Amino acid sequence: MIAQFSIVPLGVGVSVSDYVAKVIKIVDESGISYKLHAMGTILEGDWDEVMALIKRCRDALMEEVERVVIDIKIDDRKGAKGRIEAKVKSVEEKLGRTVKK
Amino acid sequence: MIAQFSIVPLGVGVSVSDYVAKVIKIVDESGISYKLHAMGTILEGDWDEVMALIKRCRDALMEEVERVVIDIKIDDRKGAKGRIEAKVKSVEEKLGRTVKK
Amino acid sequence: MIAQFSIVPLGVGVSVSDYVAKVIKIVDESGISYKLHAMGTILEGDWDEVMALIKRCRDALMEEVERVVIDIKIDDRKGAKGRIEAKVKSVEEKLGRTVKK
Amino acid sequence: MIAQFSIVPLGVGVSVSDYVAKVIKIVDESGISYKLHAMGTILEGDWDEVMALIKRCRDALMEEVERVVIDIKIDDRKGAKGRIEAKVKSVEEKLGRTVKK
């Protein structure tokens, strides 16, 4: 499955990129297949692997802050793999041209 | 923590309430604190309890359908409990009157 | 259509219920059909009415804060009305019993 | 502001990439600043421009399908521009290295 998530800490000021960096460090070092974009991070793996990683990110932030808001959006399709790239490519093929990505 | 989730199966037609009913049955019989509304179901419990329950709901649907889209939104605040009701009550107290809920 | 939304201001501390109260006051006084729950507010109306109201809520908060994160989730089904209550009732009918709501 | 959105049509089968392609064609031809990824499309512009474009995408799909589920997530920060790229770059600067993006 693929899953996009974002974690926003409350009570730490207007800028939260220090905390996002901490989360991305954990994701990057985990070895999971991922992609960071401006509104979240996309992970690909099975349910337990993905959810354990998001939990580790949440635990790391909750050591430092009192409250977090987490969004997770999952697209789970039987047998499908390599979808972080494949879903975008499929749209480009339908359109017959490349798009901004 | 409290978490709202919804599961939408794809490829089963325009109406998905049969599947939502199946999910709510699992939630209701689990004994967890929950509340169903028109756009999702709110759960309250610790991370592992909540996530294990959502996984069970997803597993039940994936026995019947090929693809699901799941949204999970978590509000995790240290030490806070009973928040499915308390968060709404807090807003009513600030306003000094009841609202539609 | 029905739409659930939430607005979280950043940089104003851990508790944001003062801001949620301000938003709900605007929603309540607008006369729109709505329902507040612990993770957001559900509105029912046509696209322009709903989006104009969410914009007014955002404008009111942006007078006071520097940054907001807004989530909007829309369920738009042709010809369907009264769905804030009807969607929950439909699930109860399938289950043959009431649920927590 | 920047806004991520996705539109999922119900009742049209398991694969929805034909519909996503139709949406991306509208976005691409609009001239707005955007980026497509595997879980949605990120737009940057002011409120009215972004929301009018999402409405056009929804209207185009509703000509063909009976029901859509739309997710919109907005990050609205006063005075900030060029954030589709800048938010990712800011994280890389904090980490002192590039990430997968």
* Residue C88 pLDDT grade (very low, low, confident, very high; cuts 50, 70, 90): very high
| Under-50 pLDDT residues of chain B | none
The predicted structure's pLDDT at residue C26? 98
Interface probe, candidates D65, D74, D75, D81, chain C, greatest C C-beta count within 10 A = D74
The predicted structure's pLDDT at residue A86? 95
In contact, D76 and C58? CB cutoff 8 Å: yes
- The mean pLDDT of chain C is 97
CATH architecture classification, C2-95: 2-Layer Sandwich (3.30)
The predicted structure's pLDDT at residue D64? 96
CA B82 to chain centre: 15
* Residue C52 pLDDT grade (very low, low, confident, very high; cuts 50, 70, 90): very high
The predicted structure's pLDDT at residue B64? 96
Name chain A contacts of C67, Cβ cutoff 8 Å.
14
Residue B23 DSSP one-character state: H
d(CA C99, CA B5): 16
* Residue D100 pLDDT grade (very low, low, confident, very high; cuts 50, 70, 90): very high
> D99 to chain B, minimum CA–CA distance in Å?
25
The predicted structure's pLDDT at residue B77? 97
Chain A interface with D: residues with Cβ < 8 Å? 2, 4, 14, 17-18, 20-21, 24-25, 28, 34-40, 42, 71, 73, 75, 77, 83-88, 90-91, 94-95, 99-101
The predicted structure's pLDDT at residue A44? 98
Chain A interface with C: residues with Cβ < 8 Å? 8, 10-11, 13-14, 16, 66-67, 69, 71
* Residue C91 pLDDT grade (very low, low, confident, very high; cuts 50, 70, 90): very high
Q: Cβ–Cβ of B90/C36 closer than 8 Å?
A: no
Name chain D contacts of C78, Cβ cutoff 8 Å.
62, 66-67
Reference C3, options C73, C68, C81, C87; nearest CA is C73
Name chain C contacts of A69, Cβ cutoff 8 Å.
8, 69
| Under-50 pLDDT residues of chain A | none
Chain B residue closest in CA terms to C76: B14
Domain boundaries, chain C: 2-95
Strand locations in A19-93, DSSP E?
33-37, 40-44, 67-77
Per-residue pLDDT tens over the stretch D32-48: 999 999 999 999 999 99
* Residue D21 pLDDT grade (very low, low, confident, very high; cuts 50, 70, 90): very high
Chain B residue closest in CA terms to D67: B14
N-terminal to C-terminal alpha carbon distance within chain C = 21
Name chain A contacts of D39, Cβ cutoff 8 Å.
2, 4, 40, 42, 73, 75
Q: Which of C21, C38, C94 sits opposite B95 (nearest CB)?
A: C21
In contact, B20 and B41? CB cutoff 8 Å: no
Question: Looking at this predicted complex, what is its ipTM?
Answer: 0.97
Per-residue pLDDT tens over the stretch D43-71: 999 999 999 999 999 999 999 999 999 99
pLDDT (mean) for C23-44: 98
Per-residue pLDDT tens over the stretch A47-62: 999 999 999 999 999 9
Q: Cβ–Cβ of A24/D91 closer than 8 Å?
A: yes
Alpha helix (H) ranges present in chain D? 17-30, 47-62, 83-95
Q: Cβ–Cβ of C14/A16 closer than 8 Å?
A: no
pLDDT (mean) for D2-30: 96
Supply φ then ψ for residue D89, to 5 degrees: -60, -40
The count of CB pairs under 8 A between chains A and B is 59
The predicted structure's pLDDT at residue C16? 94
In contact, C93 and C59? CB cutoff 8 Å: no
The predicted structure's pLDDT at residue A98? 95
Q: Which of C58, C70, C76 sits opposite D68 (nearest CB)?
A: C76
Q: Cβ–Cβ of D99/A73 closer than 8 Å?
A: no
Q: Cβ–Cβ of D37/A37 closer than 8 Å?
A: yes
> C38 to chain A, minimum CA–CA distance in Å?
13
